Structure 1
């Protein structure tokens, strides 16, 4: 059984998603009901919702929506990774309000959609540091060239638990390993960072990727971080840019075939339970 640490739900009638207009393949609803129907068939026993970069005014409403879905009978939803803006002077007061919401397990600010300078300001770094001792994680979503910036942020916040999304967004299609590989090794030296095995299917050739294309990136991520610092995520529905969620689950099982049952369980569910107290 799996715990999905990275599922996006999209409700265009309830929330505004400005970026969807630029990605026609994803400009559609992705509801909990649709997700849960498939998830139960393929062995997903619980899930964390990952923020979907909604309009700023809808960020708290997105968390409200996930809270309501968590209250459904036999819900798969176990919590939310909420959208945040650490670059804002209003972040400290906002954070104190979020800490009163037990459904929030962590925060994320996607960094590959903003100028690099956003994450390097003292305001941004000091605000992320405020997560120290709160139990809230911070997801890092960066391009490979930005991993050194992520390292600087991590070093500024040694008591914050970070989660690197999507194996560091490698260029699977080209097969180019460096500097991604070197940067990943350096980031993994920081004990307060875990890596998420997710998303990579969408970075290959959408029509022709194979398991062999994914393997070196997934295997290096696991080797660098170790089995006790990796978690699994579907990245649904973004994963559909490279195939259905069922395909990614099958690919995951194939990639870790031959590993021990303890190692498999750590990646697929146990580490997530530990990190987010699920």
Structure 2
């Protein structure tokens, strides 16, 4: 089966400034110690990790590059694509609530390979601490003014946020119906208790009610545990049930998810979990949907 990896990263920290990989002390990270990521990760490394899988394209997602130079990462990726043939397309960096958002989005939209933007809105630490219209959140009027500039520049939006912000995300999707909103990492279901999963499922269902919302199944590692089908099958199946096979994309999140499993383990796990789906449905989730949503030439 051919695969388009809908979410992966490259970086050269010897040549470029990525604060979270270069600065000390390290930031708080959902998988815990991430020191193993503090090395260059380039297409040859990725191809080695992908091993036997026939990855025919990929979507590069911004890597928290130097925020003082958001277009610098796009120039670097343009050169990487010319030399290496990967990635196929890019989701670039822009701070939607910054004064330079209009200029930065125009620069990204003017390329032939940037398909969208990721800017992580400021999250609350728990569901009970969510504040409507908080600065830096999806309800922040300044942030939303930047979001309104995505569609005019031909850009979609990749959203990485805890599931308790998905009601805000639904409002965003409804208010900007001409912008595709793509939820990253399955909505971050870190709490696998029954109560945690119930909250996650309800939030996912709210977002899925917007026809312009999509989901990437990835980022399912649990801190301190190896990645297993037993741990993740329920989450994967419920996400597919909620969004439907035409709005789901599988992704490796490599090299980040290499902290919890090999590429082989994760993709083989997704393969096993979806074994009961039709060939057409599996092709959609592993390849065709990413082609359509991120406009990748097949």
2:252 maps to 234
- Structure-2 residue corresponding to 1:151: 170
Instruction: Give the TM-score of the pair, scaled to structure 1.
Output: 0.92
Partner of 1:10: 11
Q: Structure 1 residue 88: deviation in Å? A: 1.1
Of 221-230 and 60-69, more deviation after overlay is shown by 60-69
For the residue of structure 2 that corresponds to 1:195, the secondary structure is strand
CA contact 1:8–1:235 (8 Å) conserved in 2: yes
Tell me how far 1:276 sits from its aligned partner.
1.7
Q: 5+ unaligned residues in a row in structure 2: which ranges?
A: 28-33, 126-133
Please name the residue that 1:188 is paired with: 208
Whether 1:105 aligns to 2:115 is yes
Contact 1:204 1:213 in 2 (8 A): no
**CA distance in 2: counterparts of 1:114 and 1:236, whole angstroms:** 26
For CA contacts below 8 A with separation 6 or more, give which structure has more relative contact order.
2
Q: Decide whether the 8 Å contact of 2:9 with 2:61 is kept in 1.
A: yes
Q: Does 1:68 align with 2:86?
A: no
For residue 56 of structure 1, give the secondary structure of its aligned residue in structure 2.
coil
2:223 and 2:242 map into 1 onto residues whose CA distance is 21
Q: Is the 8 A contact 2:109 2:154 kept in 1?
A: no
| 1:243 paired to 2:261 | yes
Q: Compared with structure 1, are the counterparts of its residues 95 and 114 closer, same or farther at alpha carbon in structure 2 (3 Å cutoff)?
A: farther
Aligned partner of 1:54 in structure 2 is 65
Q: Deviations over 1:200-233 (max 9, x none)?
A: 1x236523x5312101111111111111111121
The equivalent position to 2:46 in structure 1, one of 27, 31, 35, is: 35
More displaced 10-residue stretch of structure 1: 103-112 or 77-86: 103-112
Aligned positions of 1:164-175 closer than 5 A: 164-171=183-190, 173-174=192-193
Q: Is the 8 A contact 2:166 2:206 kept in 1?
A: no
- Tell me the alpha carbon deviations over residues 58-100 of structure 1, each in whole angstroms, 9 at most, x when there is no partner: 4222111211121126x13211110110011221122122221
Tell me if the contact between 1:133 and 1:160 (Cα under 8 Å) persists in the aligned partners: no
RMSD (Å) for aligned C-alpha atoms: 2.0
- Using the alignment, how far apart are the partners of 2:294 and 2:247 within structure 1? 13
Number of equivalent positions: 275
Deviates more, 1:191-200 or 1:87-96: 87-96
The separation in 1 between residues aligned to 2:78 and 2:281, in whole angstroms, is: 32
* Higher share of residues assigned helix: 1
Do the aligned partners of 1:125 and 1:157 also contact (CA within 8 Å) in 2? no
Closer/same/farther in 2, CA of residues 151 and 203 from structure 1, 3 Å limit: farther
Cα distance, 1:55 vs structure 2: 1.6
Deviation at 1:37, TM superposition (A): 3.1
Which one of the candidate residues 242, 265, 274 is aligned to 1:224?
A: 242
2:159 aligned with 1:140, yes or no?
A: yes
Cα shift at 1:57: 2.4
**What SS does structure 1 have at the residue aligned with 2:68?**
helix
